[in-house]
Amino acid sequence: MNRKHREIELLVLTMFAAVPLYFTFSVSIAALVIFHVILGAIAVRVAMGKGPALIPARLMRAIAIAYIPFYLIDWRVLSGSAIAASTHLVLFIALYQPIESLQRDNRLQRLLTASLIFIASIATSFHMAVLPFILAFVFLMFRQLMVVSHLESARIAGADDVELPTARTAGFYVIGAGMIALFLFPLLPRVRSPLVQGIGGPNPRRSTGLSESINFGEGRVTSQNTAVISRVWVDRRTRQMFDAIRLRGTIYDRYDRDEWRQTYRGYRELPSMDDAIAIAKAKGVESTATVQQVVQRGKVLLPVGAVSVSGMPARLFEGPTPQTYHTYYDGMLNLSVQMAYQAEPLQLTRVAVPKYPVLPEVAALARRIVGTDTTPVGRARRIEQYLMKNYRYVPNPASLGKTMSVDDFLLRERAGHCEYFAAGMVVLLTALDVPSRIAGGYYGGRYNPITGYYVIRRSDAHAWTEVWDGTRWLTFDSTPEVLRPGASTGSVLREYVAALGDSLNFVWDRYILSFGLADQLALAEDLLVRGRATLASLRQKLSTDALKVGTRQYGALAAIVIALGAMVALIVRRRRSLFDALARYLKKHGIEVGPAMTMEEALDQLRRQHPDAARELAPLIAMYEEERFSSHEDRKRRTRIRRKLAELRA
């Protein structure tokens, strides 16, 4: 790799470091494009054998001086963020440095700049694709560091011929460092800085996907976004208890100025007891579900039927409307949710019938549907069935070609999307003075047969109806079941490929992206518990099996253990250093070889006390010294010394 290639590789490394910034939106796209175009042009110049000075060095210095006030403008006005402005600054430095390299060797500074860009890139990245990016960057960085290290060594030695490390060597170190990192990753302390709570830039992709209100006077859009909202595990019993998983996000319980709105009642902190946060009173059969989700704008989407939550890394609030939940934690949640067949509110709040101006025709329709049924639940069930059977589901609201009111939906069009079905049912129940509300959230999801969880995407957004039966809110869904989100299926192969992709995503989300302090503590606890259990079972086994020691099996085992022990002892003995072996021999003759004593001195003492023994030992000590102070080991000589020593001992 000559100088030109090295320079091009360094430029490529710098450009590559900034690639994820296009996807994280933490800096402006225009700045990134300028950065890549200029560096690319410099790389082309270098490849053509010209210098990197695309812009004359003097002009570049002048631009650099002008950038200082520009940075302040960028910070306060253009970007409005110190982080974005600082990233722009680092990008500018990365452009300046190749031109500066004509004056002095600044390769190490350039690598540092590339590393800073790399940090900015991954600090705001959450997607799994960041992993291959990190590995590729580390590979290129290792190559560059090896080049710098080698050139420095060659410079010190005044050597001309350079033998640069190959890509294979860099690959070897990436694999090696990766294996060590695999071990270190779960052990690194996940301590958050108390001063700076995140420096991540705004992510425009982050939204709940649920609207603040429902206005049928405006066009509605069905989301086709497949971003994962949540993953939910439910056991077999839970699956039998509920028709499908419903994550409740928003409650529209008020009709005001032609819009269905939420009643804001503020945020009430839910007390935690033994890590579990009670959110409702449980009645009937209970079961457990595990919910993983990224918090979007503070909203925690819990399954309908949830009565308590554990594993919350921060405080949980009920609000802004009852039975909806909020947290100030910004990250991924892995919650264990206790569910019950019947979940009653912890606190009774005033339940009222929405103030919807019910038309006489609608009231007549409602009465016709329910007939003689007088109970709220019975009436709700009849209306649900009626809408399911007699109304047509339109998945894309735009296909209607116009906006329409709920009354139009009920009396004339008889076709609409899920919000019309939910609102229609609420209007019909309002006509009958039965308290009800529209619930917005996510429904169903797709079952992943590989990992056994339901993956719920943004495209699974749905609305349904909740009816007050006097003690609790009951779920009714008048949208035809086969037409609800997530019901459409593709080919089996496609389903499995999608499941595989999502499984990988899940592993990334669960064990990499959201691996935190709680997981570390759980891991430590688990190891401790397992260790104790193993010890206890071993003790138990030893005490119960003590009586069986006399049997043939145990006899054979004991023989094997003894043989192994003897083998180990033999190896240890053979491995004992020559010095120790000689010292042991000398000790037999009453000469204690101290730590600061040479064999020659010990031999002198032996000569005085036992001249005959000294005469025999002298050649061995001479051989030992020859071996000890030789620049290379001679195995045969060592063996000869040991053998002769054994003969002397005999």
Binding site for other proteins (CB under 8 A): 115-116, 118-119, 122-126, 130-131, 134, 138, 142, 145-146, 148-150, 152-154, 156-159, 161-163, 165, 169, 173, 176-182, 184-185, 188, 190-193, 196, 198-200, 331, 512-516, 629-632
Of residues 40 and 516, the one with the C-beta less far from other proteins: 516
How far from 107 is each of 93, 279, 424, 584, CA to CA, in Å?
13, 58, 69, 58
Beta-strand ranges (E) seen in 235-386 are 246-252, 254-256, 259-261, 268-269, 272-273, 276-278, 280-294, 299-300, 302-303, 306-310, 316-318, 325-327, 332-345
Cα separation, 363 vs 527, in Å, equals 64
- Provide the minimum distance between the beta carbon of 144 and other proteins in the complex, in angstroms, as a whole number: 9
How far from 524 is each of 54, 191, 443, 507, 521, CA to CA, in Å?
56, 16, 36, 20, 5
- Provide the minimum distance between the beta carbon of 108 and other proteins in the complex, in angstroms, as a whole number: 8
Of residues 185 and 264, the one with the C-beta less far from other proteins: 185
Of residues 20 and 445, the one with the C-beta less far from other proteins: 20
- Provide the minimum distance between the beta carbon of 231 and other proteins in the complex, in angstroms, as a whole number: 17
Q: Angle at the Cα of 319 (from 313 to 320), degrees rounded to 5?
A: 135
How far from 197 is each of 85, 164, 317, CA to CA, in Å?
19, 43, 20
Of residues 428 and 513, the one with the C-beta less far from other proteins: 513
Burial of 350: CB neighbours in 10 Å, binned 0-12, 13-18, 19+: exposed
Of residues 84 and 591, the one with the C-beta less far from other proteins: 84
The token pair at 264 is: 């804001």
Cα separation, 454 vs 477, in Å, equals 20
Of residues 126 and 468, the one with the C-beta less far from other proteins: 126
- Provide the minimum distance between the beta carbon of 507 and other proteins in the complex, in angstroms, as a whole number: 13
Of residues 153 and 225, the one with the C-beta less far from other proteins: 153
- Provide the minimum distance between the beta carbon of 446 and other proteins in the complex, in angstroms, as a whole number: 26
Directed axis angle between helix 3-17 and helix 82-100, to 10°?
170
Of residues 137 and 409, the one with the C-beta less far from other proteins: 137
Of residues 62 and 179, the one with the C-beta less far from other proteins: 179
- Provide the minimum distance between the beta carbon of 145 and other proteins in the complex, in angstroms, as a whole number: 4
Cβ of 637: how many Cβ atoms within 10 Å?
15
CB-CB contact of 254 with 261 (8 Å): yes
- Rounded to a whole number of angstroms, the CA Rg of the chain reads 38
- Provide the minimum distance between the beta carbon of 163 and other proteins in the complex, in angstroms, as a whole number: 4
Of residues 53 and 294, the one with the C-beta less far from other proteins: 294
- Provide the minimum distance between the beta carbon of 510 and other proteins in the complex, in angstroms, as a whole number: 11
- Provide the minimum distance between the beta carbon of 207 and other proteins in the complex, in angstroms, as a whole number: 20
DSSP label of 27: S
Buried/exposed 433-443: b ≥16 CB within 10 Å, e otherwise: ebbbbbbbbbb
- Provide the minimum distance between the beta carbon of 88 and other proteins in the complex, in angstroms, as a whole number: 17
The token pair at 60 is: 């570049």
Place of tokens 């059969």: 285
